[in-house]
Structure 1
């Protein structure tokens, strides 16, 4: 060791030095708690609150821990998005019709015309309330589908979506506010944040989109609906004990609103 330090021209005291930094666990936990309850606070405001509570820390340490915890605010957030759940630990659904996930799948007709398919799944029962193909989707089109499905089985408390333009629109946010539904947005570039809908989309593409030619939009709608019914009522799902999703739906939900 002496010879090595001499060759490298390094002090032996540096080799023997052991850091005395205290554990940051309590501080990190407090930063997470503040960020969870004040989702629009950045590290500067969190630092002010921590100083008020008596934490003797500087802003640089707060920034380093804030960044390590992945708590950066999202700049893509529109100015008005009241019913957005931007940064909060997710809890798994404990009953059907509590949390849905929603996304788009792209495909095309036999003529080459592109179509988009809106897919929705219940994260507890894996029930798919709607699979709707159209040539294009805007926020009002998404709202129309949600209103129709809501009239049939009711609306959930939360809908998980990505950062697509249809989902971040003011129209959908206003609709969610009026219906008391929270839009739970995934982090950009993190498809695992919405794993339930990704799983549904994979099965849908392998078993329906890749297995059929769609001659017209009506033909696509019929085949997608036939697959959806089979998925809900017949197809065994290993994640729910090889049962079809319809068996896990609450009776009041499965039979429709009274």
Structure 2
């Protein structure tokens, strides 16, 4: 408005600002967008080397290094860069890390995913199934069914799978369920050099491989079977696991079965990149 008065009525800037009740400092103010590249790069470096440092500690370190940006600007960049952490970390989770980049899944038995699925018997009694899948080959390593599964049950099942496979994964992706953050689970992971990669609360997309498998498991097994007992559950889900691993083609594996994909990779490892 002040510019319009100056250009059309040839009045001074001082008089135009007084007419529209505008402070002259605001009239002369020019907004300059600051470059956030250097600040963003340094924040990411600190976050990558000190993964449990939150916004406040990162802000203090930036101040120590001579950055003059205020806390509001730093927090805006902190959020925009996706560096915000969970507000509460599972206790005793020495092997947990929440700001890890997702590992390359083009290697068998490098990254596993696990989760729980719930269903009921014919009489309404609830039961749960622990699902464990390999992110690369999509093979289902185990389906453990029980009415009350605890952390020690998860440990026993993972130990059995590792014994069969002859190796331990580098990382296991899972949610923050009580069984996965238990002392037994944490001790097993720490003792065997396995990192527990916890999903963010309310973010099932952080663990897409097991979520995809769970959808197929429910659609092709749990929803089409009538379970009479827990033994009946175990028999039927093991039949499904065999069919899933040895018979069911997987579109992301060029319509190979997970077992065929594993065998092909073991015979000719160089073909892995061209298969996925």
Q: State TM-score, norm by structure 1.
A: 0.88
The total of aligned residue pairs comes to 249
Q: Aligned pair 1:152/2:164, yes or no?
A: yes
| Greater Cα shift, 135-144 or 69-78 | 69-78
- Indicate how the Cα distance of structure 1 residues 58 and 109 shifts in structure 2: closer, same or farther if over 3 A, else same: same
- C-alpha displacement at 1:55, in angstroms? 2.4
Q: Aligned pair 1:171/2:184, yes or no?
A: yes
Structure number, greater radius of gyration: 2
Q: Aligned pair 1:24/2:36, yes or no?
A: yes
Listed one character per residue, the Cα deviations across residues 219-256 of structure 1 (whole Å, up to 9, x for unaligned) are 1111101111111111111111111011222549xxxx
| Greater Cα shift, 221-230 or 41-50 | 41-50
- C-alpha displacement at 1:36, in angstroms? 2.0
Partner secondary structure for residue 57 of structure 2: helix
- C-alpha displacement at 1:18, in angstroms? 5.6
Q: Who is 1:187 aligned against?
A: 200
Q: Distance in 2 between matches of 1:140 and 1:155?
A: 17
CA RMSD of aligned residues (A): 2.4
For residues 69-218 of structure 1, the aligned pairs below 5 Å read 69-153=81-165, 154-218=167-231
Is 1:96–1:248's contact at 8 Å kept on the other side of the alignment? no
- C-alpha displacement at 1:69, in angstroms? 2.7
Q: Aligned pair 1:237/2:250, yes or no?
A: yes
Q: Which protein has greater RCO, CA pairs closer than 8 Å, 6+ apart?
A: 1
Is 2:204–2:211's contact at 8 Å kept on the other side of the alignment? yes
For structure 1, the 5+ residue unaligned runs are 253-258
Partner secondary structure for residue 56 of structure 1: coil
Q: Distance in 2 between matches of 1:204 and 1:170?
A: 29
For structure 2, the 5+ residue unaligned runs are 6-16, 268-276
- Indicate how the Cα distance of structure 1 residues 226 and 32 shifts in structure 2: closer, same or farther if over 3 A, else same: same
- Indicate how the Cα distance of structure 1 residues 59 and 110 shifts in structure 2: closer, same or farther if over 3 A, else same: same
Partner secondary structure for residue 20 of structure 1: coil
- C-alpha displacement at 1:16, in angstroms? 9.8
Q: Aligned pair 1:50/2:62, yes or no?
A: yes
Q: Distance in 2 between matches of 1:188 and 1:168?
A: 13
